[in-house]
Amino acid sequence: NAAVDVFAEELRWFDYWLKGVKNGAADEAQVRLFVMGDGEWRDEKAWPLARARRHSLFLESGGNANTPAGDGRIVEARPENEGQDRYTYDPGDPVPTLYTEAAFTVPADQAPLAKRQDLLVYQSEPLTERIEVTGNPVVELFAATSAPDTDFFARLIDVHPDGRAIDVSLGVVRARYRDGLKSEALVTPGEVVRYEITLNPTSIAFHPGHRIRLDITSSDFPNFDRNHNTAANPNADAELAVAKQQVFHGGNHATVIHLPVIDE
């Protein structure tokens, strides 16, 4: 049921508003969304959905969340003890984009990135019930870097029982613009900073047996330009610097992902 004739929908809209054709286009729902996982289209009155409730999940590990084989976990309760995970971001060897910008709507299996050490992976236990996430997930990230400027990416992933890890939504923050594009401020190397990363809007039903996964890294090239970690203009500076990254969880620096959940 996923296929839709986009051009036909656009033509109906233009016919109504530009030609005065009485085809009922203005009487339809204001929002029509596709719920991945369920494989169904659904009409809604407005966006974001007023009935969405914020469900918070916390990151936790034993200090070795690198790669899907690590010990990164997503848990319901805020961990009491503070911990951290580390990785090295080298802009000379960035995490590669698994699809082109032209195919941005095509979900990709993250398996080709499984052995990269510059990727932190946190995942839940297999779900026991359906969970629908519709809206913009938001990650509150507590992190430190050895650089005066760097990037942090957060990717929400649906892990299937057969091991496929299909990306759902992506968000990114550039450290110097953590307070918005109108305010530019470099970071103090080694200082723990709170970042808010708003992921792209999505709608997906995570089904029983699936896992919710969150990946944290510092590049997605060439879909996004690399941060050179130098604080210079990356469009005018050829110098690259390696950054040592730390992601904190639990205690006073509890990294959390807020999911807009729709109850059945």
Residues 211-240: pLDDT tens digits?
Answer: 999 999 999 999 999 999 999 887 788 899
Average pLDDT over residues 128-139: 99
Which of helix, strand or coil describes residue 131? Answer: strand
Q: Render pLDDT for 36-76 as a digit per residue (tens, 0 to 9).
A: 999 999 999 999 999 999 999 999 999 999 999 999 999 99
Q: Is the pLDDT of residue 103 over 80?
A: no
Give the rounded percent of residues in the chain with a pLDDT score beyond 70: 98
Q: Give the residue with greater pLDDT, 98 vs 88.
A: 88
pLDDT band at 104 (very low <50, low <70, confident <90, very high): low
Look at domain 53-262 and name its CATH class.
mainly beta
With b for 16 or more beta-carbon neighbours within 10 A and e for fewer, the 30-67 pattern comes to: eeebebbbeeeeeebeeeebeebeeeebbbbbeeebbb
Collect all residues with Cβ–Cβ distance below 8 Å to 30 and sequence separation of at least 6: 44, 45, 46, 47
pLDDT of residue 105: 60
Claim: this prediction has a pTM higher than 0.75: yes
Angle at 208 between CA 202 and CA 211, to 5 degrees: 60
Q: Is the pLDDT of residue 205 over 70?
A: yes
Where are the domain boundaries for CATH 2.60.120.260 in the chain? 53-262
Q: If you average pLDDT over every residue of the chain, what do you get?
A: 95
Give the rounded percent of residues in the chain with a pLDDT score beyond 90: 90
pLDDT band at 100 (very low <50, low <70, confident <90, very high): low
